[in-house]
Structure 1
């Protein structure tokens, strides 16, 4: 069976790393399982919320996914598929499984509290099923418009006498799962204005598109029990479900598109590499160590859905920086040549420059700071003590002639040590400060030939 998965974001904001998590699980399941033929990945925009959905957000989501390396095989918009949902809703009405309800939100809340006071479960009592045609007509004449609920199959013959009805499935992540439909209210599928809530379009699209596996957050476990009943009512084949844990902040708070926290767009702007973001989005909250993977294929080989924890995964942005540094430190010159050219690193010394500075870069953009130091001037002028100032000037007078190589720093400092009797930190630190303006950084043996003798002499304090 060919795998077909989907990622169905709402284009109501920029996606964050918590949204990226299910996108990656689906992509890797379809495209990067060792020994398996590649499947299909559908990007499906849940844009039936007309007031909040924006094309600019849909475009941004697609762009952010491309940055990670996810290129959909198909893109669909639910706003283009309303006629299909209309037909499905009509089919449910014809079967008596979609019924009109006229209660206001206040009326529903009062009834819920009354049921709780009587020791009954706070679920919808299906009062609208008792309405006669005349009573419905009267309510509509008063200006009320119905919302439509799906009649859950949790009774034998009397819908007002629900019995325990278990929906079971073997979850890719959580194992055997059970949802008791008698503990749930009949879900609203159609609003008063005729627009659809998430549930029906999701089922219809999954059924019509032949989605074979639905991998999403574990906040949808109960939804899956309801949706399985709708799948069966509409005669669709059931997909295989998998519900992974959710990402939260270190403090346990949920991530939100509205807040913009940890949005992919923000992480991109901060100079993080796509694979550091992808690695943490997938591996946090799973068994095994969290390491920076080189590409999505390598990341896919690490994914074991059954090994994902049942507890929420806490996302620490500091881990992103660590993973990003791991990646950057392993980048070859070929990996970064084009980006170094954009930083105006001279081509003839770019490879030596990268090998010298990459160990001191947490982000590739950090190389731009070293470019300025190496090829232009120290990062800042340092105020030396009189003693160190005299030492540095004496040392620079001993600079060896060019050509320079990685041995030149050692030859120079040996000569300075012999002439001044300085050693250790007292010898090396003032020279580093004079040449770079910093008390830390790459090995000076690698930097000195890049700076060159002429530029070095211009840095005498």
Structure 2
């Protein structure tokens, strides 16, 4: 059975880059009728916060990305310890004691000699006595996985055939000196034991994937199918990584972005398919194919979310936005005609408040000097209320007959006088909602 996972670290809020990974894994699982796991990667006790765990769940629920089960790495430390012991017994795990400064000097020396800056495995030559002396002096060392120096190959779902020479990669540190288990081994153990069949993540993980494949094989596991999506850039191709903190999902929600607008964009961005607003999750699942995504950096512009949000809102019935209409102050008896008027003229639900204030309080009239007599005559011809969808047509016909004005010269001055704006909703729908005019009628 197809099993995927989204594995955020609870050290901050989910941003659009995280969402891309979560959504792809979710859609793969749902399209195959499989399992989607939310795995909280909380092995770092200092940086992991419970408030971020809650926030991650809230953001996913807001988007409708419902998981089948939750796993927490902090509950599985004994499993990682067992895997580490197994690797030690196999001679694939060794302790190293170099300080960051010593490692940096080694890298610089290798680069100066024209060699790849990889760890030189000096720790493998230490005697037991030397190790004991280093532990006494520096504390416990880090634990590195000893790579087999051969080519590591796999067919990537997005990048195609990948081949990496393990000799060009440093033996990865899997456990820190303070005992903290790092992502590389924890993820391998989890993916193996949880039966994860497909892993989609960012292209910055490609080298990490190569080392993980050897660790999986050493532990006797089955390698999942890997796919590495492109990284997001800003609209001008600039690095987005420094701005991701301002693109948290909760910030986008606060700005009024609708879930289906965000999902529709992220489910197609970087693929050969055009971005099209989808009405529900089923449509996204139906049309998703990870193989249609490309390797090139993908431009993301937050402004693209707002036209999609506006289009989505236009499609919604009152029942779906009733709370927002009520929160804007609209009386229940006017909610239906108000939404019918406003839905075509808002970008986000926050715009409803401004339209209701116009309806309730009126606006400062925009009347050109040459139109003052015309407006006065027109207002005098306004029929008695109550107004309905026919009132605007009846009134403007009477004004046309009385004044001889027609077309733009008739309609624009009336719109500006009643709304203070040159453009906006259909006046036939807006006029019955203008409370000041209703009172006058």
| Normalised TM-score (structure 1) | 0.91
| Structure 2 CA distance for partners of 1:187 and 1:346, relative to 1, 3 Å | same
2:421 paired with 1:438 = yes
Where does the alignment leave 5 or more consecutive residues of structure 2 unmatched? none
Q: Give CA-to-partner distance per residue, 1:130-188, whole Å, 9 cap, x none.
A: 1111111121222342111100011xxxxxxxxxx122222222222222211111001
1:207 lines up with 2:192 in the alignment? yes
Partner of 1:335: 320
After superposition, the C-alpha distances for 1:190-237 in whole angstroms (9 at most, x for unaligned) are: 111111221011111111111111111111111111101000111112
Aligned residues: 441
SS at match of 1:241: strand
**Contact 1:247/1:255 (CA < 8 Å) preserved in 2?**
yes
Residue 145 of structure 2 aligns with which residue? 150
**What residue number does 1:377 align with?**
361
1:429 and 1:456 mapped to 2: Cα distance? 23
Shift of 1:355: 1.9
Find the aligned partners of 2:257 and 2:12 in 1 and give their Cα distance: 21
How far is 1:417 from its partner? 1.9
> Hey, what does 1:404 align to over in structure 2?
387
Contact 1:10 1:47 survives alignment (8 Å): yes
The answer as to whether partners of 1:255 and 1:261 remain within 8 angstroms in 2 is no
Measured on the aligned residues, the alpha-carbon RMSD in Å equals 1.9
Q: What secondary structure does 1:365 align onto?
A: helix
The structure where helix makes up a greater share of residues is 2
- The answer on whether the counterparts of 1:68 and 1:278 sit within 8 Å (CA) in structure 2 is yes
Whether 1:424 and 2:407 are equivalent positions in the alignment is yes
Q: Which residue of 2 is the match for residue 110 of structure 1?
A: 105
Is residue 224 of structure 2 the alignment partner of residue 239 of structure 1?
yes
Unmatched runs of 5 consecutive residues or more in structure 1: 155-164
Aligned equivalents of 1:259, 1:41: Cα separation in 2 = 25
User: Structure 1: how far apart are the matches of 2:366 and 2:388?
Assistant: 29
Q: Does 1:27 align with 2:26?
A: yes
- Deviation (angstroms), 1:19: 0.7
Whole-angstrom distance in 2 between the partners of 1:258 and 1:52: 20
Q: Which shifted more, 408-417 or 333-342?
A: 333-342
Aligned equivalent of 2:60: 65
SS at match of 2:70: strand
Q: Secondary structure at the match of 1:362?
A: coil
Q: TM-score, normalised by structure 2?
A: 0.95
1:256 offset after TM fit, Å?
A: 4.4
**Within 2, Cα distance between the matches of 1:369 and 1:299?**
33
Q: SS where residue 36 of structure 2 aligns? A: strand
Q: Which of 123, 128, 151 is 1:166 aligned to?
A: 151
1:456: how far off?
Answer: 5.8
Q: Distance in 2 between matches of 1:258 and 1:283?
A: 21
Q: Does 1:389 align with 2:372?
A: yes
2:7 aligned with 1:5: no
SS at match of 1:283: coil
CA contact (8 A) 2:365 2:418 kept: no
Q: 2: CA distance between counterparts of 1:301 and 1:119?
A: 50
Alpha-carbon deviation of 1:71?
Answer: 1.6
